[in-house]
Amino acid sequence: MPRTPRIALVGDRSPNVQSHQRLPVVLEALAEQDQLLVDAYWIHSSEVGDLTGFDGVWLLPGSPYASEVGALNAVTQARESGIPFLGTCGGFQHALLEFARNVCGLSQTHHGESSPDGEELLIVPLACSLAGHQGIVHIGANTRAEKLLGGTQTFERYFCGYGLNNAYLSTLRAKGLIFTGHDGEGDVRIAELPSHPFFLATLFQPELADGPRAHPFIRAFAAAAANNATTKSQPVLG
């Protein structure tokens, strides 16, 4: 029998973060509506150790994290080990920061929330805060996002005040990261890594979506984790 996939929920769990409080509902919906049962374990950013035993890693909102190093380490392990990864809001921001530093060689880039005086800010304050905002996201054709959503537009909820500095777009793209969702002004809202089994990050928070079923991105992440668990459970022949 395939084992239940184990998912690491990386973040500093707090009753004041709406996303964190919503997660039990999301996990219940996965189990009841889609028969995607997962074992989810909260891991504080300051306690991130070896995550390779997990079948999926979800870096959740709630930045600035208690440990930026821990948050980035979670992304690195998922990216390098092929572990299905989902990053939402602060998870999106730190997924891009990890990629910039460790893949693009931009070791001096920083997050404007934790290092506001940094000279090379990859993540910068948005012109208008998206805290409590809802809006349309335009989806690129022939992308994982379009396949999962079944269309070229989606209406999503945000709770953030920071986003990608567009000056770094070309450098990130050159190393394989693609940007598959944008707002009406063309600012990035979704990032994917096609070379990875499942690596998806969103500035919006799909865990806040209404409805009896979990957001398509979360369902796809859980399915990828389940597939990873099945693959790990198969005996090695030879």
What is the per-residue pLDDT across 76-121, written as a single tens digit (0 to 9) for each?
999 999 999 999 999 999 999 999 999 999 999 999 999 999 889 9
Task: Indicate the pTM of the whole model.
Answer: 0.95
Domains of the chain: residue spans and CATH: 6-233 (3.40.50.880)
Q: What contacts 24+ positions apart, CB below 8 Å, involve 33-36? A: 33/212, 33/213, 33/214, 34/213, 34/214, 34/219, 34/222, 36/219, 36/222, 36/223, 36/226
Averaged pLDDT of the chain:
95
Residue 1: per-residue pLDDT: 62
**pLDDT value of residue 238:** 46
Confidence of residue 136 (pLDDT cuts 50, 70, 90): very high
For the residues 30-52, what does the mean pLDDT come to?
Answer: 97
The share of the chain scoring above pLDDT 90, in percent, equals 90
